[in-house]
Structure 1
Amino acid sequence: MRTIFKYNIINIIISIFNFALTFYLAIAPKFLFEAISKTNLQNILIFGLSQILALITSGLISVFYASYFATLFSLKNTNNFIKTKIKIKDINYKSFYSKTEGEWNSLLFNDLFTNSNQYYIGVAVFYFTLFPLFASVASAFWLNYILGIVMILFSIIWLFYPLFLKEKINKKIQERLNKLSKLNANVSNVLKKIDGLLFFNKIQVLPKIIKSDVENLAEANASKNFWTRLSSSISTFIEYFLTIIMNLVIILTSTQVGLGYLKTGILVSISTIVSFFLQRITTFMQYFLNNIAIKKGLKKVDINFYDSQKWENFEEKIETIRVENLNFSYENKPVFKNLNLQFDSGKKYLLKGPNGCGKSTLLKIILGLQENYQGKILINNRDLQKINPLDLVKQISYLDSNFDLIGENIAENIYFFNEQNKNKLNKVIRDAVLENDFSETKNKEEIDQKDFSVGQKQRINLASHLYESKKIMIIDESLSNIDIKTANKILEKLLSKTDLMLILISHHYSEFHDLKFDRIIDFAEFE
């Protein structure tokens, strides 16, 4: 919060400085022409050079602000906004698996990050243009009160007219998106049957099938374009009309006072003010209206990981995981029927059987990822469905085939934001048989995913879980791309850990290791 406060203060300071520069650039021509009229070389140099310096400074500030500061301001505020919007500490495996990866990407990146980033860039530009607008109006009043009144009136008109059209435009845009979505869905359905159309020589009917949707989309496009262009045309009309009024004010002023160097300076200042005003008001309105639309969208984003159920805390060591009378069906097909199993601390279990027999499903039920089952899962005789999932994750490592490297080097991936301990790091490197893949050179290099095979990535992933030192490890086919010799070495080390409960799903083992498991559970027997 301190960083955001600092950025907001800097933003206000820059904006006030920009206000002063704009005000000076608006009125400076008056003083320059006064100096010219009196042939005051000193003042000519002062006001001439100061205008040039002010223009250069204003340009540099604009470049710095647009390319650097506005981006940092936006990222800091976006990060804070996302933290307040998402109570990320309350997420667990169950919450994560409630959505697909695509849904998470759309929600976190598009709905939150991209939109909130655009919003805060708009806020930064809003500040940056608002103060110069005030400066333009203030300098206009200082030179000619009629000009100032005209600017205020047009600002009000410019501010409120789009608000009446905005809802209409947003509605038309949404209608267009809905019809485009419908067209895409229908085309997708038709393409699924394209082989049938070709086989029966009916491909010529394809345009007829989608004709209605295409026509509806074209109509929606035309309607959306009409209202968008109407809004743009009104904005352009107001800008031109304001320019005409300003010119009339200039003519009126010149008629009243007569021309001369002094009066010419006033007229040049008025012209400069009008130019500044038109530039700033256009940018201001663009971001102002855009931010209204984005803010409405952000308010609708709801990421709620809170569960109405009150979880029971679980701080004791997990000694047993017991499955009692488990029944589970998938797509009306029974997977388990009155299944009873028990897993004990320090024991090693191999789950084997053909694909689709329920091995992974059982583990997901134990982890709380799959809830639609009958029966009980008891952790130390306590009902799994009442235990806080966050407490279970503290004791259970779960490795599946879906993972990726995230750090800049191998060591960072293994540490995975834990306290760094070189001795512990070296031990898990040996346990994951990474000695030959890990070197000081590779440790310091940034990771390129192409540099590592899938098997190497699986071993790095395993090492990161070993570094956590949890007493329960569930491995779901996450050693499948490691060669048999290396996999057997890894398995030998895991089986030798007397305090580790190991539950392994794998087709990648040797008969030698069969004898070292405390229990081999063949799921083919449950079918």
Structure 2
Amino acid sequence: MRKIVKIFWKEHLITLLFMLGSGISTTIVSFVNASILNSLIKFNLHSFLISISKLIVVYMFFLLFTYLKILQSRKTSQKMAKFLRDKIIDEVSNFSPREFKKSKVGDYTSWLSNDINQIEDQGFTVFFELLSNIINLSLALISLLYIHWSLFIVTIIEIVIIIQLPRLFKKKMAESTKEITKANEGALSKTTNLLSGFSTFYIFKNLMYLSSKLKHEFLKIEQTKNKQTQFLAKIAIIGGLGNVIGQIISYSLTGYLVLLNLLSAGILATTASLSANVFNTVGNLSQYIAIIKSVEPLFDKIDISLEKTRIKNSQLNKIQKGIELRNLTFGYDNMQPIIKNMNYTFELGEKYALSGESGSGKSTILNLIIKDLQPTDGKVLLNGLNIKNLSSQEVLSSITYIEQTPYIFNNTVRENISLGDPIEDEKIKKVLKSVGLKKLSEQLDTVITENGGNFSGGQKQRLALARGLVRNKNIILLDEITSSLDVKTAVSIEKFILSIPNITVIMISHHISEEIKQHLDGILKLEKK
């Protein structure tokens, strides 16, 4: 919390000034009330009217400063929330696929929505309330000291006692917030999983199960929130009790000082107002501090997510050499290596296939080439350079990797190809025609449904291929992209890819037909260890 307040210190300073103006206005009102009461006691009409006029003017300033305070605090809160959300988005955007998959998609969604909203509502908004209350408290204490030192001393002692009360609930509040966060993440993840299988539930006539599971997940969130509400209620009651006792003591002491002729009778109105301000504020402080403490785990989680090193988005020099696997060994943890002491060179501009049974390391080789995995031993050289010394973005500046099931976005054909890059329409049309999607080349504004629901498997693979070709990459890696297609479509796509001149193709295939073999410069056969 402190870090982000420092970043936006100017905005907080402006907010603080408006809060100060509002607080001073409230304090002046308390003293004007004393003048009004003294005027009535003395039956002094002239003094009474002057005091009423002062009251009206002060209230006008109070309303103005309060309005500005609300606007500025809300604006600053939104800025800070946007800053945190943008930070998370920027860092996640630099994750490798393997880093990204360490958390579920629902978790990232929860960070960007639930967690940020919770920080904004229970962190920033409450922080500004706390700041405003502290200013009002300080002004009230200064005023009590001005009225009589004994009022100040007694009030300070009472505040010290009341302010310690939230410590009794600090640990439980932090735990309850963590529980809410976990419940939100779990619900989002499970909801995404369940709704993705809607058609399956429908086919097997089990939509009631889907409904009950969804309701159950959100019921768990409500139950967790109810537990936190109970803690907040206890804190509020204890703070309220301290508030009442404190006001009674201060009011009684003022009355005693009036009886001793040390203060005027009208000052009772001022003391009552100031005491109410002090102890209402202190009662709120107990609750505000507890709420702010409860969102600290969310700040900690965001800080952890921001520890990732930003990847420098630079480019390799012109590619003049292919890819070399030199004494390459890879294995997961302490398991037997999947790949051991492999030596192979994929020459620039030539076409290759990786073949072998499942688990023999075909996809592993592609993941090692794009730096999604790191070798246990040996090297992967790109353009004669060890990719260990290159960033993932540098490697991917020259390589297009097409997954077995490429993701198609619910957006236009143009956006699915460009992915936000400034690529001219004519270039997109040319590439679409080259991959056999001539019809789509004239329909760039056609909106594709979620994950290409209105496209065939072959169309989706061709669209994914167009994404790579439009960027003029030197090397294309294909991870079994035709495995889910019929033989005719698969052969057609593979033949087209292998016929593209001046690019290196490395494709994975379980079964390589004789027709396809004729277009290959090499086949790397892998055996399961």
Tell me which of 312, 316, 319 is aligned to 1:317. 319
- The residue identity in structure 1 corresponding to 2:283 is T
Cα gap change, 1:45/1:119 in structure 2, threshold over 3 Å: closer, same or farther?
A: closer
Q: Is the 8 A contact 2:240 2:283 kept in 1?
A: no
Cα gap change, 1:251/1:441 in structure 2, threshold over 3 Å: closer, same or farther?
A: farther
Q: Does 1:10 align with 2:14?
A: yes
Q: Does 1:131 align with 2:135?
A: yes
What is the CA deviation profile of residues 261-293 of structure 1, one whole-angstrom value per residue up to 9, with x for unaligned ones?
x844x3333333333333333333333344456
My pick for the range that moved more, 373-382 or 446-455, is 446-455
Aligned partner of 1:69 in structure 2 is 75
What is the CA deviation profile of residues 399-437 of structure 1, one whole-angstrom value per residue up to 9, with x for unaligned ones?
325765679655445333433433334334445555645
Shift of 1:148: 3.7
Aligned partner of 2:273 in structure 1 is 272
Aligned mates of 1:6, 1:419 — CA distance in 2: 36
Q: Is the 8 A contact 1:119 1:294 kept in 2?
A: yes
Aligned mates of 2:284, 2:365 — CA distance in 1: 58
- The residue identity in structure 1 corresponding to 2:27 is F
SS in 2 for 1:357: coil
Shift of 1:360: 0.8
Aligned partner of 2:370 in structure 1 is 367
The size of the alignment, in residue pairs, is 467
Tell me the TM-score normalized by structure 2: 0.67
Aligned mates of 1:5, 1:229 — CA distance in 2: 33
Aligned residues with identical type, % of pairs? 20
My pick for the range that moved more, 244-253 or 397-406, is 397-406
Aligned mates of 1:31, 1:464 — CA distance in 2: 78
What is the CA deviation profile of residues 37-68 of structure 1, one whole-angstrom value per residue up to 9, with x for unaligned ones?
543586476346446646755765576467x4
Aligned partner of 2:519 in structure 1 is 516
Aligned mates of 2:32, 2:49 — CA distance in 1: 15
Cα gap change, 1:176/1:404 in structure 2, threshold over 3 Å: closer, same or farther?
A: closer
- The residue identity in structure 2 corresponding to 1:30 is A
Aligned mates of 1:49, 1:226 — CA distance in 2: 41
Q: How does 1:243-282 map to 2 (within 5 A)?
A: 243-256=247-260, 263-264=265-266, 266-282=267-283
Q: Is the 8 A contact 1:487 1:509 kept in 2?
A: no
Q: Is the 8 A contact 1:320 1:342 kept in 2?
A: yes
- The residue identity in structure 1 corresponding to 2:53 is I
Cα gap change, 1:353/1:175 in structure 2, threshold over 3 Å: closer, same or farther?
A: closer
- The residue identity in structure 2 corresponding to 1:46 is S
Aligned partner of 2:53 in structure 1 is 46
Q: Is the 8 A contact 1:19 1:134 kept in 2?
A: no
SS in 2 for 1:322: strand
Shift of 1:469: 2.8
Q: Does 1:158 align with 2:162?
A: yes
Aligned mates of 1:31, 1:437 — CA distance in 2: 81
Cα gap change, 1:450/1:370 in structure 2, threshold over 3 Å: closer, same or farther?
A: closer
Q: Is the 8 A contact 1:158 1:235 kept in 2?
A: yes
- The residue identity in structure 1 corresponding to 2:244 is Y
Tell me which of 343, 347, 351 is aligned to 2:350. 347
CA RMSD of superposed structures (Å): 5.1
Aligned mates of 2:442, 2:285 — CA distance in 1: 55
What is the CA deviation profile of residues 320-350 of structure 1, one whole-angstrom value per residue up to 9, with x for unaligned ones?
2123454555685664455443212222223
Tell me the TM-score normalized by structure 1: 0.67
Aligned mates of 1:227, 1:398 — CA distance in 2: 52
Shift of 1:478: 4.6
Aligned mates of 1:507, 1:399 — CA distance in 2: 17
Q: Is the 8 A contact 2:98 2:372 kept in 1?
A: yes
Cα gap change, 1:279/1:418 in structure 2, threshold over 3 Å: closer, same or farther?
A: farther
Higher normalized contact order (CA 8 Å, seq sep 6+, divided by chain length): 1
My pick for the range that moved more, 482-491 or 8-17, is 482-491
Aligned partner of 1:396 in structure 2 is 399
- The residue identity in structure 2 corresponding to 1:350 is A
Aligned mates of 1:338, 1:305 — CA distance in 2: 32
Shift of 1:242: 0.9
Q: Is the 8 A contact 2:25 2:59 kept in 1?
A: no
Aligned mates of 1:483, 1:38 — CA distance in 2: 101
SS in 2 for 1:468: coil
Structure 2 alignment gaps of length 5 or more: 184-227
Q: Is the 8 A contact 2:326 2:341 kept in 1?
A: yes
Shift of 1:377: 3.1
- The residue identity in structure 1 corresponding to 2:248 is I
- The residue identity in structure 1 corresponding to 2:418 is Y
- The residue identity in structure 1 corresponding to 2:161 is I
Q: Does 1:287 align with 2:288?
A: yes
What is the CA deviation profile of residues 476-524 of structure 1, one whole-angstrom value per residue up to 9, with x for unaligned ones?
245666777776666555434323222223579987555334334454x
SS in 1 for 2:478: strand
Cα gap change, 1:361/1:123 in structure 2, threshold over 3 Å: closer, same or farther?
A: same
Aligned mates of 1:281, 1:305 — CA distance in 2: 40
Aligned partner of 2:426 in structure 1 is 423
Aligned partner of 2:200 in structure 1 is none
Shift of 1:361: 1.6
- The residue identity in structure 1 corresponding to 2:398 is Q
Cα gap change, 1:424/1:127 in structure 2, threshold over 3 Å: closer, same or farther?
A: farther
Q: Is the 8 A contact 1:349 1:503 kept in 2?
A: yes
Aligned partner of 1:192 in structure 2 is none
My pick for the range that moved more, 128-137 or 36-45, is 36-45
Aligned mates of 2:448, 2:482 — CA distance in 1: 24
SS in 1 for 2:359: coil
Aligned mates of 1:439, 1:49 — CA distance in 2: 70
Aligned mates of 1:516, 1:60 — CA distance in 2: 74
Tell me which of 376, 381, 388 is aligned to 1:378. 381
Shift of 1:72: 0.8
Q: Does 1:20 align with 2:24?
A: yes
SS in 2 for 1:154: helix
SS in 1 for 2:253: helix
Aligned partner of 1:185 in structure 2 is none
Aligned mates of 2:330, 2:477 — CA distance in 1: 20
Aligned partner of 1:240 in structure 2 is 244
Structure 1 alignment gaps of length 5 or more: 181-223, 308-312
Aligned partner of 1:495 in structure 2 is 498
SS in 1 for 2:401: strand
